[in-house]
Amino acid sequence: MTRGLFISFEGGDGAGKSTQSRALAQWLTDLGRTVVRTFEPGDTALGAVLRQAVQHGEEVSARTEALLYAADRAHHVDTVVRPALERGQDVVTDRYLDSSVAYQGAGRGLGVEEVERLSLWATEGLLPDLTVLLDLDPAVGLGRLTGTPDRMERAGDELHRRVRETFLARAEADSGRFLVLDATRPADEVAEAIRTRVRPLLPAV
Ligand code: TYD
């Protein structure tokens, strides 16, 4: 059986990841594919506990934060992502390891290479076939949010600027894996650009 496609969505808060990942998952489903739509952190029972702890729990150090995200990711890959891919299903996730590299590696200053190594260890090296980066000025993205801000959303503008720069630098260094789109463009144009990039990845029928 052919392995499913693994696609992650990345970008700052409020960039429209969930809207676009939902639209892509629907399109793939309409093509007759089976799609698992998921997210990090928190899309498992253990993950929900880790999500609550890391986003709204007591103050923790940057290293603790990185390990909590890595634990969530390891469990998510073991129990959701890899089994689905092996069944031949596509997996579309809101956020994956590039978020840790950008937020913990650059944002919190732990070092992008070290955090990348930690994430690759947690996932046994599983990388997406495609990562869609929805790029947005953090001042715009954070302004779009509603609800109680989590720990990261409360962090300073400088952190969010470093996160954005790191996402962009990673995308530039690995253009084979990344598609970068301007998240201020109309949502239907963004969705069409994503489909254009995904179409050639699908096996011919
Ligand atoms: P997000 O997808 O924005 O969730 P929601 O929109 O439901 O609040 O993710 C929540 C936050 O978690 C976001 O500010 C980025 C942060 N985060 C990290 O710092 N590192 C990570 O590895 C991941 C997956 C998320």
Least confident of 89-93, 157-161, 176-180: 157-161
Q: How many other β-carbons are positioned within 10 Å of the β-carbon of residue 1?
A: 6
Determine if ligand 1 sits within 6 Å of the CB of residue 65.
Answer: no
Determine if ligand 1 sits within 6 Å of the CB of residue 69.
Answer: yes
CA distance 104 to 101: 6
Q: Name which residue sits closest to atom 8 of ligand 1, judged by CA.
A: 150
DSSP codes, 130-152: EEEEEE--HHHHHHH--SS--TT
Distance from Cα 31 to the centre of ligand 1, integer Å:
30
Entry pTM:
0.95
Q: Name which residue sits closest to atom 21 of ligand 1, judged by CA.
A: 100
Q: Are strands 130-135 and 6-11 parallel, antiparallel or unpaired?
A: parallel
CA distance 42 to 48: 4
Position 205 scores a pLDDT of 64
CA distance 200 to 189: 18
Distance from Cα 1 to the centre of ligand 1, integer Å:
33
Does the structure show a pLDDT above 90 at 130? yes
- Predicted confidence (pLDDT) per residue in 169-193, tens digit: 999 999 999 999 999 999 999 999 9
Determine if ligand 1 sits within 6 Å of the CB of residue 166.
Answer: no
Does the structure show a pLDDT above 80 at 1? no
User: In 104-189, which ranges are E strands?
Assistant: 130-135, 178-182
Determine if ligand 1 sits within 6 Å of the CB of residue 9.
Answer: no
Q: Ligand 1, residue 153: give the atom nearest the CA.
A: 14
